[in-house]
Structure 1
Amino acid sequence: MDASWGPAVCLVVLVQMWALVSGQVRYSVPEEAKVGTVVGRLPQELGLEAGDAEERRLRVVWQGQRASVEVSGASGALVVSSRLDREELCGKSAPCSLRLEVLLERPLRVFPVELEVTDINDNAPLFPVARKNISIAEVTTVPGSRFPLEGASDADIGANAQLSYTLSPSEHFRLDLQKNDEDGDSLFLVLTKALDRETAPVHRLVLTASDEGRPSLTGTMELVIAVLDANDNIPQFNQSVYKVQLPENTERGALVIKLNATDLDEGTNGNIVYSLQKLFPQEGREVFEIDRKSGEIRLRGDLDFEDVGLYRLQVDAGDQGNPPQLGHCKVLVEVLDVNDNAPEVWVTSLSVPVPEDASVGTVVALLSVSDRDSGANGRVRCWVWPSSPFGLESRFAGSYSLVLREALDRERVSAYEVEVRAEDSGQPSLRASRGVRVPVSDVNDNAPSFSQAVYTVLARENNAAGAELARLLARDSDEAENGRVSYSLWEGGAGAASSGGGWRPASSYVSVDADSGLLWAVQPLDYEELQVLQFEVRAVDAGEPPLIGNATVQLFVVDENDNAPMLLPPPGGGPVLIPFVGGVVGASVEAATGSESETLWAWAAWGAPAGQVVAKIRAVDADSGYNAWLRYEVWEPRGKGPFRVGLYSGEVSTARALEEADGPRQRLVIVVRDHGEPSRSATATLSVSLVEGGEAALSGAGSSSSSGPGVLSVAEGGLSAGAASSSANVWLVVAICAVSSVLVLALVLYGAARCAPRAAVLSGAAPATLVCASEVGSWSYSQRQSRSLCVAEGAGKSDLMVFSPNLPPPPAVPAVKDTSQTQPPALLDTVSGAAFLFSLPAFSLTFNFFLALIACDSPFPPSIFLRLPWPV
């Protein structure tokens, strides 16, 4: 036995011994004693001898209970045979006494034995359940509320069953134990502080019951306190203000922001629904939308930074409790500018038309430039295209002035299409433009200008009064009244000398129409009276003040073959030409030629050799050029007569040696014709008397007084012919050499001239040169005058007139086409290669000199020279 049980067993034995003495045996044994523990020694207590217990068969008899003690063999001691559990044997009864009968045979005797099983603290306090769940509503359960608890039980008795309770530490709960002898102990859980489910949804406490045994045993029970939710929490956003930035070109449906509100409540009290309640501006309702469950805000419409740059949204988050709680937040959506707007250019003021004499710096228009974008996207750079003659000046931000930078000229540009361009600084940059039409108003700053400074006009003589000669056209670049031109003749010294010797103004010959510039003849023109008429035509515009332009007109009268050849009297003066009277021949010649026949007288010696000049017919034609170029022909007798006449010289010479068979007198009918179309002619009858040589000499000596009209005597003709023949041949050779040299030079100059621009009458700027041929007799070169280089017998008359005004070249005037007016028929082209060559003084003098040699009894007729292939 354990040493701790020793004093107890001794005590029990003593008690038993005392009991036997008193007549009843009592034993006491603690519960849970070990098997074999001696409860008592029955033989000693019954007074038996050693060994009698076995012989007399001492045993214990239980009454309906399981035997927990028995008599041990030979010693007869009462020992524990099985586990003794007081709580099982007696429960809560106290004391726990077991009544035993000890049976002794031989002799049979029965002894009552009382066995008390004493309690030990072998049972801990025990709660009905190991875990107790308690539900307490938050907020609504006020502190001090009591919740009953079922206490623990202890199978032990006495002090071992005396229980005390403790609760694990808690700021919200405490225990209240009320002892009552009648009703027993009452245990309460008391709420000391209001619960908050959101802070602690579950409270776990441990309730401990402790007995008073030695050692003390404890029992525990877990209290699980669930805090029931109340809708006492408002949904909360993690931010009170959300800021979002979106480019204005964000597409529809894009996610703006996802909001998340939390509600510490649970169940329906924590179910959150989102909504948009307040918006600024109000149009935002059409731009944004929110998902009521997820809290996602998405773009519903289009953003435009230029319309709204900032949206203020208010989002409500409401739970589904009763009553519902609402949480709020703000969402600021900042719209970021994108360069989606091109600059805009507006013309706020336009001052047109602009006078062409406006000064530099004149403000033409006021413009306003703007860009709805901001920042660099809204910074605009402006310029003008084309850059001249206008420019931009900035007055202040967004305002510009279109100013004049250069002088204007309406005649050069009548209206400007100005384009004001604007470009912003965005990436990529956007451009815009605005067209401004700036018309230029006219100022009378241009004088009328003729297309030529000098006009050369050719007019045929004998034209009808009122005939159109030319049409002069002056252009005035101005417009309206400033460009309306009227024409007039300037009488200041312009005119011509008439054949009568008087000076007549140009207006007596020509007139110009004030409106059309038509030049017409006031009276018929006569070349023999007037060859060249130079005058000035003025063009005056209707501006204020009027401006004047002028042009010089050189009117050349073109000769017509309106004069027949006339026979000249002898050089020394003689009788008037006597018409030839009688004879069929004269009549036939007159009929054939259509002109009068004149009778002339000459003498020839018998035996005169062939080629001897016997007479010379002199004639003149008042016309000029080919119309005055005369040729001589023998009309009668036809065939092989003894005399012949020089085709161009008019010299009558012997065709062969004269014979007596020719008779004493020869009658010649000579026709003098010009080269005009139609040709005009005159006839002369030459009567040649054949005499002896001495008579011919005497007749030649008195020829100056007695020869007939127009007759050159034989002696005179022979001497002059012999002397002139030798000198003419020398001069002819010299002239031919000179002409050949000059011709080569002229061809070179002509080639150079052909490369230069050629102008026709009324269209060229260079002065024109007119070449006209006159009758045979002399050639001359003239610059507004005539000079005779070689004059034959009779009055000298030019038969080659070269007119060169020798005026300074006109100023350069831009050519103006006018297809509406055609050139009148009187205007002829006069500038040619030959005219250019003849205008050269050196060549003209040489050429005229050579022609003069030919005219002065040269054996070569002038037609040979005129028919040479001269350049044209």
Structure 2
Amino acid sequence: CTKRSTPSSKPLSQTLWLCYLLWNTSDAEIRYSVPEELKIGSVVGNIAKDLELELSEISDRRLQIAAEYGKQHFGIDLGKGELKITDRIDREQICGSIPKCMLTLEAIIENPLQMYRVKVDIRDVNDNSPFFLNNQIVLNVDEAKTPGARFRLEPAKDPDIASNSLASYVLSKNEHFVLSVKNKDDTKIPELILEKALDREKQSSHSLLLTALDGGTPARSGTTTIIVRVQDSNDNSPVFEKPSYKVKLPENSPKGTVLLTVKALDSDEGLNSQLTYSFEPNTPVNIQNLFSVDSEQGAITVKDHLDFELVSSFKFEVIATDKGASPLEGLCTVEIEILDVNDNVPEILLKSLPKPVREDAAPGTVVALIGARDGDSGENGKVHLSIQPGLPFTLKPSISNYYVLITDSSLDHEIFPKYIIEIIAKDFGTPPLESKTQIPVDVLDVNDNPPGFPHSSYTVYVKENVNAGNILCTVSAFDPDQGENAKISYSIIESKSRGISLSSYFYINAENGSIFSMHSFDYEKIKLFQIQVQAKDHGSPSLSSNATVHVFILDQNDNAPVVIYPSAVMGSVSHQRMPRSAKAGHLVTKVTAVDADSGHNAYISYRLAEATDASLFSVNLHTGEVRTKRSVSEQDDSSQRLLIEIKDNGEPVQSTTVTVDILIEDGFHEPVPDYRKKTTELNQKSGKITLYLIISLASVSLLCLLTFFILLVKCARSSSGSSSCCMRRSDSGYKNPNRNLQIQLNTDGPIKYVEVLGGDMMSQSQSFGSYLSPMSEFSDFTLVKTSSTTDFTNTLNVLDASLPDSTWTFESQQVRDLVYFICLLTFSCRFAIPLNVSRQPLDERGLSFKPMVCKTAQRDLLPPPATVPVQW
């Protein structure tokens, strides 16, 4: 036989039974008896002792207990050989209603293999109480039932058996019912017997407690509640809660208002207690028109408008009728008192339409007359008028309920051309009632705003020689007024420029402010016009404002170069002489020309156009110097003619020519002092001047550093309250009339020219041109002419606007004084030592100039005139 790992399984029992047949083991039977519901771990008996086994044999022979059928409830203590309970034993669950409950076990031992049958008798204990299937039993009994009527009840159940099962019933004490018990098929069935007649109106239901008892010791019990509902019969009339009802009702109660609800009670139930409400049949029609009665709820509702002045009270009757087979009725009286309330809203009366008000109207000007009325009387009929706050108007009480609307402060048509005034009327009732209305008040415009230009000044650039009739610019002004007060006419304020009226130069369209030129302009004559434009409205009286239009004339290349030297007094040919002993590089003469134009248009270049012998002479492109290219030989003609072309840098190019006849003479000597002696003296003098210049520059540098350090300290102390200190970048026009120095730089590299402006910017400036004697070997400095300019402030404005990144303004008085000192020193050097101005060759951008430097006197230095303008 094979040993199974689960001794409680059915296959193992079959296997052991087969072994029992094969080996003819003992068929002895052991019996035990235990009550149900013993604690787990309780000892049933010492099975090892009953099987005559020693304690040591329990483990050696592997004693096992297995249930023959069902759940395993028992186990063996291998240390003591005792049979113990391992699971809850419930007899009712194991055997149900079977009176005798037995569990069969199998005890198996090995070596040799033997099996014993063990039977355990489960004894019943009173562990279950009787119970009813329903916790509540409901009986419906008509109140007309006669005593002696029987009503069967639901029996109780008890799962215990014998004496522990259901034994008897007990009914709680009451005056209407008694209990009777019938035995049917060993089942005890309880019954209720009506002993006394019922009255539903006194007691509509009865609650009884039915208790079931078993025969155990101690006895157990179970209960259920019996609800006896008494069924009604229509034997009672409806009765109102109150015989009469009184209510006070405001006269302004709206339709549908429930003023009260009458309520009647009927002791019956069902249809016998269901009531309907209605007016008593003789109730007047006017009351039925004003009020209604809800037939189901008894609510009395307002049907129409009530008026205290017409009827102040009402009295009528209401009937309640049940729905029984023989309807019964009840009656009550209703009294309604009407209360007077403030139910009339004040009415606003406009006695005069609001009139438009001029914006310059004085405070207190009457705008409108307004009245008010209220249909109520007494305090309810008094009305107070008001307007919303924050308006330049106020209401002033007049006679009775009249008010006048007047202005309270100044008006401004441009800000508020129209007001919507909300008038509020409120009475003195409780609660107060109010009404509102809105009236418009127009504010009439007055010519109180002059036209305004968006800018105080305008800048226009016009090329010279442009045909007349072109539009230069359009200025536009705005007037916030309306109508004729906002219509603007433009005109030019009459003034003169160089004795000529501006109206002869310019014309302005009076309607749109467009400015036209009436003549072409000549930059060389006038460079700047200042036009005062006036904008005047059409109001009465009219108002006006002015704006300044700066018209800058831009230079065009309309002037050809003019030869200054050599002077052709006798004709168009200049005659020069030179010795035949001249070597290469000998200065024959110098051609000097000027151009009336400015800027690049005035840059002049020289070119040898024709020559008797082109290999003998050359002309410097920039200086106009005529020099020999080689030594003069005996074979060269004594008479040479040169045609020199002089061109400017404008577009289109303007040019002129000069013819120079050169006579080559033998033994000709120039009336020049000893060159070597003068050169030695000049070098000595230049050395001293250079030493003085170095000392001066060193002193100036030291003074500059000291001055800027002092200014820096001052700026650091005062920087907390100012955004700039001693120097600031100039943003726009020349706003500082005391500015003393302007350095105008070229934006694309080297300095083109330097302008030094001294004194008040509004004063006339002097322009100096430097010229050198063409025949001087030592380049003596000569001042030739001065020229006045027009208002330099505007000119500088243009320069500043054109080169904003190259202009700096010095505003500190200390820096100004320092700059004056440097300028004086520099120009002292300039006048003391010839200034070398050299030009670079032409590139793709045009002519470019090197910065001006002070140098010692050099031979053959012939700067061209009018290329270094100096303005003070």
Q: Give TM-score, length-normalised by structure 2.
A: 0.47
Larger Rg, first or second structure (1 or 2): 1
Q: Which fold has the larger relative contact order, with Cα–Cα distance below 8 Å and residues 6 or more apart in sequence?
A: 1
Q: Give TM-score, length-normalised by structure 1.
A: 0.47
